[in-house]
Amino acid sequence: MSNAVVSIPPSPGPDDSAYDDSVPTETTPILGGQPRAYSTGITELSLAARTHLAGLAAVVVLALTVTITVWTRIITDVGLSELYAWHPLLMSTAATLFVTAIAVAQAKPVFLRGLPIPGLRNIRPAVLHGYTAGTAVAFAVSALIIIIRVKSLGGEDQFSSPHGIAGLVAVILAALQAAGGVALRTAQPGQAWIKQVRSAHRAAGYVVAAALAVPLWFGLEYLDAGEGATAWLRAAWGGALAIVAARALLR
């Protein structure tokens, strides 16, 4: 009797197939109507798809520029020893991480498989998206808790300004978006609601990204103290995000 060992390849977890619609098949379309497969390269995508990905990259770069601007201004004018300082630092970083998570989800698997970093090449795009978005939401919630504490210590009214109201709404939306992502991640495959929730989750991501941008626009104006130095940055980021969101929601 033979002692041959039979190797059974592991099957994908139910969470991945439920949460991530990029499991390679012959019929699942990627941006621009191309087949979704891990061998897909950027040159194989349609012009519309490449334009959309370029727009996402621009949004990420602009968001990162906002974050660097905020960090530079806070470190220069306030310092890191003040509790208040961590509110804009965490919120701006959250916005950058959130739009990066969207880019990871939309660009999968075009870029991740071509990266020369083994750890990123082997990780599932949905997992990287989830970790990035989850970190963004955690940072946003932390920023909210900090500003509530600061206002409480100073005896100031909570959420009495457009900046504060916009920030509160953005964090609530981000938390709801995260809850939807967790539901998809833990869902068993084959359930009827998964497709509808996944589509809503994808579209809502752009809404949350725009919502996170609004309090940052107010915050940048406040940091400028009337100088208007970041007006171009607010306009460019808002325009790029609006174009990308419109392209994604209408396609």
Residue pLDDT, tens place only, 45-75: 566 666 666 767 777 877 788 888 888 888 8
**What is the pLDDT, as a whole number, of residue 27?**
34
Q: Report the interhelical angle of 86-107 vs 47-77 (nearest 10°).
A: 170
| pLDDT band of 37, cuts 50, 70, 90 | very low
Q: Is the peptide bond preceding residue 35 cis, with omega within 30 degrees of 0?
A: no
User: Is the per-residue pLDDT at 251 higher than 60?
Assistant: no
Q: Residue 159 corresponds to which tokens in the numbers above?
A: 């959420």
Contact between residue 108 and residue 56 where contact means Cβ atoms under 8 Å apart: no
Q: Which amino acid is at 157?
A: D
Contact between residue 102 and residue 248 where contact means Cβ atoms under 8 Å apart: no
* Residue 180, φ and ψ in degrees, nearest 5: -65, -40
Higher pLDDT, 47 or 137: 137
Burial class of 131 by CB neighbour count within 10 A (0 to 12, 13 to 18, 19+): middle
pTM for the predicted model, two decimal places: 0.71
Burial 45-57 (b: 16+ CB within 10 A, else e): beeebbbbbebbe
- Count CA atoms closer than 13 A to 231's CA, side-chain side: 5
**What is the pLDDT, as a whole number, of residue 42?**
53
Domains and CATH numbers, the chain: 14-250 (1.20.120.1770)
The listed range with the strongest mean pLDDT (28-42, 113-127, 212-226, 236-250) is 212-226
Q: Which amino acid is at 229?
A: A
User: Is the per-residue pLDDT at 36 higher than 70?
Assistant: no
